[in-house]
Amino acid sequence: MLFSSSQILFISTLLLGTTLSISSTSWFGAWIGLELNLLSFIPLISSKNNQYSSEAALKYFLIQALGSSIIIMSASLMLFTTEPTSTLMTIALLLKAGAAPFHFWFPSVMEGLQWPQAIVLMTVQKIAPLSLLSYLVSTSTQPIFLSAIILSALIGAVGGINQTLLRKIMAYSSINHMAWMLTAILISETSWLLYFVFYSFVASSIALLFNYQDSFHISHVFNHTSSSPKIKVITFMSLLSLGGLPPFTGFIPKWFIIQEMIASSFFFTLFIMLMSALLTLFYYLRISISALMVLSPKTKWSTKAFNHSISTSLMVYINFFGLLSPSLFTLII
């Protein structure tokens, strides 16, 4: 896919804003980076081919502007006091990251995006808020983190059960994975970076798979995968990998987090997260098994050729990496 010069400019400034937020030595510099990131992403959302893009861009702008205003207010109040402002800052960053209970904007914005923009929203746009959240971990903010973890796990699992739109399913999946990333932040910086990298690769591979098939609804997956057994298998395995089913790639970071939570005695939180992971596997399996088993009528106008051999090989490698080299991660542990 070729990018126009304006898209290249906005992508560059988006990445620059993220880098500025992470590397800044003050909250004011982090706020500037977040604002640059926001103003760069809005033009990338807008699309003439999607009638809902303007609505999604407006919702995203209003929510992110609210979060940014709370951050700059909290940064100003830090000159006088520390504890209440760190709590307020944590809430603002959870809002910008789309974690529960501040998740209400995330599925509706995802519904109005094309798959490439959805990949950016699920991955790149979470880097800066999560990095800043890792600086705020303390005894005063830990109850907020634990509440957000439990609510994100439950809402991300329950919210996706009755969904039939693939972008909303991926949105609730992202909210559920946010619980694991917030837990990893409480453990160590290395843990959340590891989880985030694995999640980004697996989620991006599935979104690209849906993008190649022009699939936005579960019924589209049935129609488009019927023309290629290869796509059936890749869709089936990729969704199981995203659900964290062993021994696929998506299980590797969850394996690390489970071990660290047991060592840190987070048993109640771990129980809720594991139960929610089973619920997310239900709606992944509803898509993947139906796409693998159900034979839909082949209509020429609804099928799309899938000849991206390099992309196919990359998706297979990403989702089978844990299956192909489990001994490597055993040695790391």
- Please provide the DSSP assignment of 56-85 as one string: HHHHHHHHHHHHHHHHHHHHHHTTT-SHHH
Taking the alpha carbons of 31, 37, 43, 49 in that order, is the dihedral positive or negative? negative
The confidence score (pLDDT) of residue 167 equals 93
Q: What is the pLDDT of residues 297-333, one digit of tens each?
A: 555 444 455 555 556 666 666 766 666 654 454 444 4
Q: What is the pLDDT of residues 189-243, one digit of tens each?
A: 889 999 999 999 999 989 988 888 888 888 877 766 555 677 777 888 888 889 8
- Please provide the DSSP assignment of 236-271 as one string: HHHHHHHTT-TTSTTHHHHHHHHHHHHHTT-HHHHH
Q: Read off the pLDDT band of 245 (50, 70, 90).
A: confident
* Structural tokens at position 274: 């594991």
> Which residue range is the domain that position 193 belongs to?
5-332
Into how many domains does the chain fold? 1
Q: When comparing pLDDT for 306 and 284, which is higher?
A: 284
* Structural tokens at position 295: 């034979």
